[in-house]
Amino acid sequence: MSGEPPILELAGVRKAYNVGTPVEVEVLHGIDLRLERGEFAALIGPSGSGKSTLLNSIGLLERPTSGRILIAGLDIAELDEAGLTALRGRTIGFVFQFHHLLPAFTALENVMMPLVIDKGRPAPGMAERAEQLLRAVGLGDALHKKPAELSGGMQQRVAIARALAMSPPLVLADEPTGNLDTHTADDVFALMRRFNAEEGVAFLIVTHDPRLAERCDRRIELVDGRIVAGATV
């Protein structure tokens, strides 16, 4: 919708570790970045360039040392830890290279988990939402299977469904196909593309796979903690 702020804005973001000690090291050096709602972008760059640190900062898992991060127009510096947790849970979905599914729970229960955490308890409609998403990713027959009973590609499909459980406007994906064979990787990528097109979810995908990066609408390149290409549309 017009008039809405970008889903993501970074201005002058720096991230350093061991601040104030002799071994202080700055990993991100003044990042400016803007991601519009509904965009589908790849974050690329060599190992050690700061991609994971940048993703953790955007995902509100780490606070920047300086600079501003706005998520859907909200400046995260104005939020306490509870506010950050709530914003992260409701606005951002996460997909990782290793799916991080809970082994003791079924696919349905894993997908329900963000909803349960948000409300503090199971509630009517949660199972229906989880089942709807699992059917959408082609796992209608695996609702009650545990992760160990699923292939790697199926597990990643569950992880994508879980990331979308809260209908977030932004999904961050860290090497989501890095653990999959080429054919399965293509299927998982196509699935993310579909949710992007049909539901307007913005995706920021860290990938080392040039084939997949080329199929994104935009490539943001990070080298030595600095964006060298693709910071804006």
Tell me the pLDDT tens digit for each residue of 30-40: 999 999 999 99
Report whether pLDDT(3) > 80.
no
Dihedral, 49, 96, 98, 183 alpha carbons, nearest 10 = -90
Report whether pLDDT(50) > 60.
yes
* CATH code at 38-63+80-229: 3.40.50.300
- Residue 153, both tokens: 């590609």
Q: Which residue has the tokens 């008039």?
A: 3
Give the per-residue pLDDT at 136.
82
| Residue with more model confidence, 43 or 98 | 43
Average pLDDT over residues 128-136: 88
Give the per-residue pLDDT at 232.
58
How much is the pTM? 0.85
pLDDT tens per residue across span 73-94: 889 888 888 888 888 888 898 8
Report whether pLDDT(144) > 90.
yes
| Residue with more model confidence, 75 or 100 | 75
CA distances to 49, 171, 181 from 193, rounded to whole Å, are 26, 12, 18
Give the per-residue pLDDT at 1.
44
pLDDT tens per residue across span 218-232: 999 989 888 888 655
Name, in order, each residue with C-beta under 8 angstroms of 195's C-beta and a sequence gap of 6 or more.
160, 164, 171, 201
Report whether pLDDT(14) > 70.
yes
d(CA 187, CA 111): 19
Give the per-residue pLDDT at 96.
78
Report whether pLDDT(98) > 80.
no
pLDDT band for position 68 (cuts 50, 70, 90): very high
Give the per-residue pLDDT at 52.
86
Domain segments of the chain as ranges: 38-63+80-229
Report whether pLDDT(95) > 60.
yes
Give the per-residue pLDDT at 108.
93
Dihedral, 20, 57, 68, 171 alpha carbons, nearest 10 = 180
pLDDT tens per residue across span 154-207: 888 898 889 888 888 999 998 887 777 788 788 888 888 888 998 889 999 998
Q: Tell me if residue 232 falls in helix, strand or coil.
A: coil
CA distances to 8, 87, 171, 175 from 35, rounded to whole Å, are 5, 17, 12, 19
